[in-house]
Each structure stands twice: as structure tokens, then as C-alpha cells.
A and B are shown apart, each in its own frame.
Chain A
């Protein structure tokens, strides 16, 4: 079974530029999550999708971050414009669903904003 795929693995941009990350979840997983992991901290949930609908985006900085999952499969997270404090690893995870569902994580995209 293929795992969660993310690309790119690394990205370096200058502040005020835009960037996009892509995630392809495990086949059949209805729920998809984007997390931000700042160095030295645990992952923080940015947005959660159930199929192609948003379940929770309460911690997504909507003035600069956006995410979509148009067909209920893969997803894109965008930052525009980027700030220095956006430097982090962006993790995508997926789960099948249910009350005690297990999340499967991708390898992450390491973003450096200069």
C-alpha cells in the first residue's frame, strides 16, 4: 500500500513570494490534514478535510494561507505572500475515518523563507 505522498520535499523562497505544496493521501482515505511543524515544536493542525469539504480551518491564517481538495483526493496548500515565520515543515496526513482513526503522515515539505 502506497503511503502519503508530498511534494516538493524542500523549498526555499524569499519573503513575499508565493509557494504551493501538494499532497496525495492513501487511497480510500476520506480525511486529509495539513499540519505546520515549526522547529522544536509539535505539529499544529492548519486544516482538516472530509472528502472535499472543510471540517476545521480554525487555525489556518486565512489572510495568506489557502487549501483545497477539489475532487476529494489530492490537496494543495498555498501560502501567498510568505513571511519569515512561515519557515517550517508542512506535514500532510490522511486517515480512513472513525472515532479512533489513525493518521498516516507523509514525509513533509521543509519550507525556508529568506
Chain B
């Protein structure tokens, strides 16, 4: 069975600073990996996904993530944080033919300070 660990339930950065949200996965087969963002009282929105193509994946809103098989990691980064980036972020993994069935991490709340 696959699993995801998000390191740090809360991350705080200053506006304009680098955003780094950490995600490590466990999977016995090549995984599909996703990052979602959730704003208050809203559903999840896909930021980006890794599907065994390029290891550096670019997503919406200036976010990107790099798949590192040797480290079993899929960390999310953004060079310069904006106030509107404040939200909760979820990393998810799915495997096999049922790629729609994703296992989610417990989320990281990003706070952006002015």
C-alpha cells in the first residue's frame, strides 16, 4: 500500500520568500504524485501532478515540484511567496491502474506574513 508523509503541519514564510513544502512517499511501484491546494471552505484544486514524464513538474500559480526517486520525495516549491498563497496544501500518491484512488497526506498549512 502507498502512503504519504508531509513534513511540517505548519509553514510560515514572509511575502517574497521561498516556499518549500515537503512531501515523502512510500510506494512499491512507480507512483503518480499530486499536489493540491485547499482554500478555506472550498474543495481541493490540483496544483500539479507527476505521471512519470519529466521529473520537474510545473504547475499553476508559479509552483513546481521535483520528483526524486532516490529520496522518495516530491517537494513543492515557489520562488517568491504571495499573500494569496496562504492556504492548506496536500500531497497525494496513487499507483497502478486505479490512478484515481489517491492517498493523501495530512496537509501543510502555509501562512504568508506581510
User: What is the interface of chain A, defined by CB distance below 8 A to chain B?
Assistant: 4, 31, 33, 40-45, 48, 55-56, 91, 93, 95, 97-108, 110
Distance in angstroms between the alpha carbons of A107 and B44 in the assembled complex? 8
What chain A residues lie within 8 Å of B107 (beta carbons)? Answer: 40-42
With beta carbons under 8 angstroms apart, the residue of A40, A41, A56, A100 that contacts B101 is: A56
What chain B residues lie within 8 Å of A44 (beta carbons)? Answer: 104
Count of residues in B whose CB is under 8 Å from the partner chain: 25
Residue of B whose beta carbon sits closest to that of A107 = B43
**Contact: B101 with A48, CB < 8 Å?**
yes
What chain B residues lie within 8 Å of A95 (beta carbons)? Answer: 100
The residues in B between 34 and 51 inclusive whose CB is less than 8 angstroms from any CB of A are: 36, 41-46, 49, 51
With beta carbons under 8 angstroms apart, the residue of B32, B43, B49 that contacts A108 is: B43
5 new A-B contacts, CB < 8 A, other than A31-B100, A40-B9, A103-B46, are: A42-B104, A44-B104, A45-B103, A91-B44, A107-B43
**Contact: B32 with A100, CB < 8 Å?**
yes
With beta carbons under 8 angstroms apart, the residue of B46, B92, B98 that contacts A56 is: B98
Asked whether A106 and B43 contact (CB < 8 A) given A43-B104, A45-B102, the answer is yes
What chain B residues lie within 8 Å of A55 (beta carbons)? Answer: 98, 101
Distance in angstroms between the alpha carbons of A44 and B4 in the assembled complex? 12
Residue of B whose beta carbon sits closest to that of A56 = B101
**Contact: A100 with B99, CB < 8 Å?**
yes
With beta carbons under 8 angstroms apart, the residue of A40, A100, A104, A105 that contacts B51 is: A100
Distance in angstroms between the alpha carbons of A97 and B99 in the assembled complex? 9
What chain A residues lie within 8 Å of B41 (beta carbons)? Answer: 107-108, 110
Distance in angstroms between the alpha carbons of A92 and B51 in the assembled complex? 23
Distance in angstroms between the alpha carbons of A33 and B44 in the assembled complex? 13
What chain A residues lie within 8 Å of B74 (beta carbons)? Answer: none
What chain A residues lie within 8 Å of B100 (beta carbons)? Answer: 31, 33, 48, 95, 97, 101, 103
What chain B residues lie within 8 Å of A99 (beta carbons)? Answer: 32, 51, 97, 99
Closest Cβ of chain A to B6, distance in Å, is 8
